[in-house]
Amino acid sequence: MATPLSATQMKTVLKREGCEVIEYRSWETHERDAATGLHFGPVNGVMIHHTVTSGTDGSVSLCYNGRSDLPGPLCHAVAAKDGRIFLVSNGRSNHAGSGDDDVLRAVIAESYGSTPPAPNEQNTDGNDRFYGIECVNLGNGRDPWPEVQVDAMARWAAAICRAHGWSEKSVIGHKEWTNQKIDPRPSPGGADVSMPAFRARVKKLLAAKPGDDVPIVTNPQEDDVPQTVGRTDDGQKTRAPGDWKALSIDGVDIVKGAQAYSVTVHLALKAPAGSTLQGRFYHHRPDGSRWKGSIIERLTTAGSSFVDFHHDGDIKSAESLRFELAYFPAKSGDTAEAVITRSRVRGLYWKA
Ligand SMILES: [Zn+2]
């Protein structure tokens, strides 16, 4: 149930992520919905493209207007070589075309390793499922990718992932969606746009704090527009082995008065490598009873570990969404506590 971000939300999250945003012409209403009878959303991910053009003005205008054989908009945003992000649409746009449903499933589950399964079918329309960015590059394997451009592309992707509570695995290249495409194509001499490297950038951004932590402002009149959850708690917390306990992230109630939600809890912690963390979302009812989600398991690494737990669900307005965590050390009998140094929750909810 990921509803596309409104134009206002899009601007807010991009600026918060540090993007220099240029609003191009009537981008807020420029879309293909009316012409196709289809609608943008529900959304599941973001897709990276190269334009096969050079020059900012001509590339942005082409992406807004389209070509004689492919009506615009051709994407939602254009990343210029100087790092500016031009917004050209906030609705359905012609960028993804048909791709492989196995890839879509892998993106939704965010379950794959370094790359999603190789696409070999064109059986699914991606234009209503993916946000798309066209990045100015000739795509000839020689046109370099400036660091400032690739940084802006990654911030654009991270801003959207953060707003929806997605990880970097919701970011794919066009060539990972269909075997008919080669974009984005890396070239020597600049920044690396191979998708595993690009996803690593997005992951790094998502692990950091964006510009500020204020929730995205939404219009209360639009009740189908989701509200944002965005809280960070730098208070140190400990977990004794085997002890299930609700986690307070600036309070234990993550969401209240909602009908649906999509949230991710991110934790930074220290525990011996190879220890297990089990996390579980649950709905706390006024009478003290509760509904429990399934257990999500994560392994710790050496040094600091960064783990996340995600859940989408429906909830009653009187119930509050909470998250509990248990720690099981790598060596049984180890009595040392796990130390959580930072807790964060990100996501969206729909008001009851
Ligand atoms: Zn493409």
CA of 343 from ligand 1 middle (Å) equals 37
Structure tokens at 43: 């959304």
The model's pLDDT over 322-341, given as tens digits with 9 standing for 90+, comes to 999 999 999 988 999 999 99
User: With 60 as the cut, is the pLDDT of residue 12 above it?
Assistant: yes
- Sorted by sequence, the CB contacts under 8 Å of residue 233 that are 6+ apart come out as 248, 249, 250, 342, 343, 344
Q: How far is CA 202 from CA 134, 249, 255, in A?
A: 17, 23, 26
| Half-sphere exposure in the Cβ direction for 103 (13 Å, CA) | 31
Strands 130-135 and 45-50, bridge-based pairing: parallel
Tell whether omega for the bond before 42 is within 30 degrees of 0, i.e. cis: yes
- Sorted by sequence, the CB contacts under 8 Å of residue 32 that are 6+ apart come out as 38, 71, 73, 91, 92, 93, 94, 127
User: With 60 as the cut, is the pLDDT of residue 262 above it?
Assistant: yes
The model's pLDDT over 145-155, given as tens digits with 9 standing for 90+, comes to 999 999 999 99
CA of 275 from ligand 1 middle (Å) equals 41
Structure tokens at 53: 């053009």
Which CATH topology does 227-351 take?
Jelly Rolls (2.60.120)
CA of 181 from ligand 1 middle (Å) equals 7
Residues 168 and 202 sit within 8 Å (Cβ to Cβ): yes
The model's pLDDT over 114-136, given as tens digits with 9 standing for 90+, comes to 999 999 999 999 999 999 999 99
Domain boundaries, the chain: 7-207, 227-351
User: What per-residue confidence (pLDDT) applies to 224?
Assistant: 59
The band of 33, judged by pLDDT with boundaries at 50, 70 and 90, is confident
User: What per-residue confidence (pLDDT) applies to 225?
Assistant: 64
Structure tokens at 29: 């209403």
Dihedral sign, CA of 196, 174, 307, 229? positive
User: What per-residue confidence (pLDDT) applies to 273?
Assistant: 93
User: With 80 as the cut, is the pLDDT of residue 220 above it?
Assistant: no
CA of 47 from ligand 1 middle (Å) equals 8
Rounded to whole angstroms, the Cα distance separating 28 from 66 reads 17
CA of 174 from ligand 1 middle (Å) equals 5
Residues 161 and 198 sit within 8 Å (Cβ to Cβ): no
CA of 129 from ligand 1 middle (Å) equals 15
Q: Can you identify the CATH homologous superfamily of domain 7-207?
A: Peptidoglycan recognition protein-like (3.40.80.10)
Q: Which of 91, 77, 76, 123 is nearest to 104 (CA)?
A: 123
Radius of gyration of the chain (CA): 21
CA of 339 from ligand 1 middle (Å) equals 44
Angle 195-207/147-164 helices, nearest 10 degrees?
A: 60
Helix (H, G, I), strand (E, B) or coil at 28: coil
The band of 222, judged by pLDDT with boundaries at 50, 70 and 90, is very low
CA of 101 from ligand 1 middle (Å) equals 17
Single pTM value for the model? 0.62
Rounded to whole angstroms, the Cα distance separating 224 from 4 reads 11
CA of 115 from ligand 1 middle (Å) equals 17
User: With 70 as the cut, is the pLDDT of residue 100 above it?
Assistant: yes
Structure tokens at 257: 């008065």
CA of 18 from ligand 1 middle (Å) equals 25
User: With 80 as the cut, is the pLDDT of residue 245 above it?
Assistant: yes
Structure tokens at 66: 């389209």
CA of 74 from ligand 1 middle (Å) equals 9
